[in-house]
Structure 1
Amino acid sequence: MTIVIMTVGTEGDVRPHIALGEGLLARGHAVRLAADPGFKASITKVGLEFSPLTADFAGMMRHNPQALDGRSGLAAARVVVAETRRMAQDWPAQGLKAAEGATLLIGSGNVSLLAASLAERLQVPFVQTQLQPLEASHALPPVWFRPRSLPASVTFALHRTLRQTAWLLLRHTANDMRKALDLPPYPLKGPWHDPKATGGRILFGFSPHVVPRQPEWPARIAMPGYFVSAKNADYTPDTDLARFLQAGDKPAYIGFGSMLSGEAETLAATVRDAVQRAGLRAVVGSGWSNLRRFLPNSAYIHVVNHVPHEWLFSQMRLAVHHCGAGTAAAAVRAGIPTVPVPFVGDQYFWGWQLHRIGVATPTQNLRSLTAQTLGDAMLQATSPHMVANASRLGTQVRAENGVQNAITQLEKWNVL
């Protein structure tokens, strides 16, 4: 079989699908991953075939830092919609090339409807992956809406309203793609109400120990667990990092991954002063904000560039991060508490959910973050109760094999 996986976005969007592709490759399938050109090296390194889809989320954040660093959810939505419309102009032609010879299409995120439409045109099965719980429920807030306490009926209605709003904002983009693929347009109410229009089958790429199955979710949704590559845990640190780790107590991790702050220098100063205030040592991920520019190494801070979280977090006592889906998963799997500092989108949901299940402090507001509030939150994350909760959850989640469970589910659905 030739399986084509399509996804675009940040590290947290693409790397889980690389892991899924690795698992499928190991089972003897040909696997092609269509994604942002910036991930080509990571994709081909593990033996997967790469096909490009126009996308540059780093550039999007670089050009719009103030819209994507927690100031305004509405401003962030406007940027994402505008950029998606621009990028999607190339997707039909690129998607057709990527899908050549496909016997199964798997799609995620912004390119889910592209993959679904290609599967419809090619008459092959389609399966959607979701790294966040996008389906409606009464108990969970919509992942793109900052969580707040609302009656269950209002929460459920809000899910439906936001999904329909998102569809109307991107309806012309989706239908322009379908026109280019010689397919009829989706109706005004959108495709998601009709499982036949989008294949119906969904793999949730997160652990049911973190987000339990909700009673409203149909059986066509499977919950195999996180998509993680075992190879990410096999890493040898450079000499400087190894010496820092051996020089004292386990440090905290502080990093904001693929997020770009328009005030990186201020954020770096806050991190430095918070570490001193808490009396901890810290490994700081430079990330897309390039915090290294403003944070020299010292006896209590060591700055790193690209170190796999799966390995690095196993060396940490807690993690301060933006709570993107991938980073949140790594902290959970490592069995360490989280201090959530979300920037945008689903990060607020993950911070809320991890706090709700007892493995994270309350969410910290990026716009009002100070050395005192961050330092106090880091100390709160060292409390014995939270440490025990995080350790117990990590043991449960590490016992799962999300990639193999997903492949088994695909076989049960008879699409492999």
Structure 2
Amino acid sequence: MRITMAVNGTRGDIQPAVILAGALAARGHDVRVGVPPNLIGLAAHLGVPARAFGYDTRAHLEEVRRVRNEAGRNPLRRVQAVAAVNRTGWSDSVDDLADLTAGADAIITGFTTEAIALPFAEALRIPLISLHHAPVRANARVGPLPQLPGALGGPLVPAQWAAAEQLMRLATRGQEAALRARLGVRPAGAPLAGLIAGNAGIEIQAYDPMFAITGDSRWDASPRPRPVVGFIDLAVRHSGPDPALDAWLEAGGPPVYFGFGSMPIRDSQSTVSAMVRAARRIGRRALICAGWSGPPENVPSGADVYFAETVDHHSVLSRCAAAVHHGGAGTTAAALRHGVPSVVCWFGADQPFWGAQLRRVGAGMSMPVRKLTVDALESALRAIDTDVSRRRASNAARALVGPDEALAEAVAAVETVTGRSADRVREVAR
């Protein structure tokens, strides 16, 4: 079976997809993988060869931040500016996907690239398999913008979905119409979710069943299966040992881990200062992962502070007392797996949802990153740096679907929808 895996986004989007691609290849499938050019190295590190698909996502996030700042507080100007930036990568993604999908029997993609991938699936008459890291289809429990008031279970959630789907259609209809004309497929006569419903694929929910949408008539009415497989991540550490970090961790008590991954921090100097001061106030050391923001010019000094560009969550989080992060699905899963309570300082997208879910299971607190101050962070850390929070986080960890089981379920779901088992693939190859 020839499968195209084309996913755009940040590390939290790419890593689970690449892990799934590697597992499918190990089962005998011919898997072509496309990831952002800045994350090809990550795929190679995970043992999966990949080609460039779309734009450099790190540069894209920096550009989005720049145009938002230039647009000021005017919401219309901000939307227009960000829409213009988003259009710049469309043509590159289309050209790359045309090459990646040649001869494909199925396409696997993420939420942000479904509008590009669906016309290709229609033209080739093959299944489109979506990989979702949070509930991103209409339901009555979680709105499309979880940071809005009432978007987490409020009465306006259905209306928010209707509005979001129409706005998305308006934002992309010109590009989508040109792509559909180029491929010779039907014009888009409905919002994207409605069009996808007509494709014989599935929507893999790559998060744990304890966070799944249940008992919701709108969600359950989908004609496409939505298997909830669990968090797709690594069962073992994926980077080599860091002797300096290991020595620092051994030299004192469990620290607070701080890391916002790929999220660009507006003022890294003041944010890092707040992290260190809050940790010191509660008597903890600070392990700070700079991520894509990089370290500030003036790094706070002290034996109780350690800076790293990246860390291996699998080997580090289990040695921490608490974690402060942006609430991406990957980091949330890592903190949960190691029974570490979290403070989610969210930026947007699905991050407020994950902050709310950690609070719901008693394993964390949540607040927007714009409200991150020394006092607010100290208060949140004191609330979760307790035996009660750690016990609840440990209980959640024990209840999670294991990474190996989640990956096996995802592979089975892909093989089921393609209609041919890996055994049959090997027979044909022989």
Same-fold call, TM > 0.5?
yes
Task: Please tell me the residue identity of whatever aligns with 2:116.
Answer: L
- Bigger shift: residues 371-380 or 177-186: 177-186
Counterpart selection for 1:385 from 385, 388, 398: 388
Task: State the alpha-carbon separation in 1 of the partners of residues 353 and 298 from structure 2.
Answer: 30
Task: Please tell me the residue identity of whatever aligns with 1:225.
Answer: G
Deviations 1:226-258 (A, max 9, x none): 111334x25443221011111122111001110
Deviations 1:245-276 (A, max 9, x none): 11122111001110112211111111121111
Q: Is this contact kept in 1: 2:207–2:230, CA < 8 A?
A: yes
Counterpart selection for 2:309 from 284, 297, 305: 305
Task: State the alpha-carbon separation in 2 of the partners of residues 35 and 72 from structure 1.
Answer: 33
TM-score by length of 2: 0.88
Seen in structure 2, the aligned counterparts of structure 1 residues 280 and 209 have a Cα distance that, compared at 3 Å, is same
Task: Please tell me the residue identity of whatever aligns with 1:25.
Answer: A
Number of residue pairs matched?
413
Task: State the alpha-carbon separation in 2 of the partners of residues 101 and 47 from structure 1.
Answer: 23
Task: State the alpha-carbon separation in 1 of the partners of residues 233 and 31 from structure 2.
Answer: 17
RMSD: 2.5
- Bigger shift: residues 340-349 or 191-200: 191-200
Q: Is this contact kept in 2: 1:88–1:177, CA < 8 A?
A: no
Deviations 1:141-161 (A, max 9, x none): 334543537875422222222
Instruction: State yes or no: 1:367 paired with 2:370.
Output: yes
Task: Please tell me the residue identity of whatever aligns with 2:125.
Answer: Q
Q: Percent identity?
A: 27
Q: Is this contact kept in 1: 2:322–2:384, CA < 8 A?
A: yes
Q: Is this contact kept in 1: 2:127–2:417, CA < 8 A?
A: no
Residue 112 of structure 1 deviates from its aligned partner by 1.2
Residue 128 of structure 1 deviates from its aligned partner by 1.2
Q: Is this contact kept in 2: 1:73–1:344, CA < 8 A?
A: no
Task: Please tell me the residue identity of whatever aligns with 1:19.
Answer: I
Task: State the alpha-carbon separation in 2 of the partners of residues 46 and 209 from structure 1.
Answer: 28
Q: Is this contact kept in 2: 1:364–1:374, CA < 8 A?
A: no
Deviations 1:68-100 (A, max 9, x none): 799898776545432221111222221110112
Instruction: State yes or no: 1:270 paired with 2:274.
Output: yes
Residue 8 of structure 1 deviates from its aligned partner by 0.7
Seen in structure 2, the aligned counterparts of structure 1 residues 150 and 258 have a Cα distance that, compared at 3 Å, is closer
Q: Is this contact kept in 1: 2:137–2:193, CA < 8 A?
A: no
Deviations 1:317-342 (A, max 9, x none): 21101112221121122221110111
Structure 2: which 5+ runs fail to align?
421-430
Query: Secondary structure at the residue paired with 1:390?
Result: helix
Seen in structure 2, the aligned counterparts of structure 1 residues 236 and 412 have a Cα distance that, compared at 3 Å, is same
Q: Which residue is equivalent to 2:118?
A: 116
Query: Secondary structure at the residue paired with 2:415?
Result: helix
Q: Is this contact kept in 1: 2:38–2:57, CA < 8 A?
A: no
- Bigger shift: residues 194-203 or 333-342: 194-203
Counterpart selection for 1:289 from 279, 290, 293: 293
Instruction: State yes or no: 1:183 paired with 2:204.
Output: no
Task: Please tell me the residue identity of whatever aligns with 1:109.
Answer: F
Counterparts of 1:1-400 in structure 2, within 5 Å, are 1-65=1-65, 77-143=79-145, 145-148=147-150, 152-187=154-189, 189-216=190-217, 217-218=219-220, 220-231=225-236, 233-291=237-295, 293-296=297-300, 298-361=302-365, 363-399=366-402
Counterpart selection for 1:406 from 410, 418, 428: 410
Query: Secondary structure at the residue paired with 2:50?
Result: strand
Seen in structure 2, the aligned counterparts of structure 1 residues 382 and 77 have a Cα distance that, compared at 3 Å, is farther
Task: Please tell me the residue identity of whatever aligns with 2:398.
Answer: T
Task: Please tell me the residue identity of whatever aligns with 1:51.
Answer: R
Structure 1: which 5+ runs fail to align?
none
Task: State the alpha-carbon separation in 2 of the partners of residues 378 and 67 from structure 1.
Answer: 33
Task: State the alpha-carbon separation in 2 of the partners of residues 43 and 80 from structure 1.
Answer: 28
Deviations 1:277-315 (A, max 9, x none): 121012110111112543245311111112222332222
Task: State the alpha-carbon separation in 2 of the partners of residues 269 and 275 from structure 1.
Answer: 10
Task: Please tell me the residue identity of whatever aligns with 1:329.
Answer: A
TM-score by length of 1: 0.91
Seen in structure 2, the aligned counterparts of structure 1 residues 194 and 61 have a Cα distance that, compared at 3 Å, is closer
Task: Please tell me the residue identity of whatever aligns with 1:142.
Answer: P
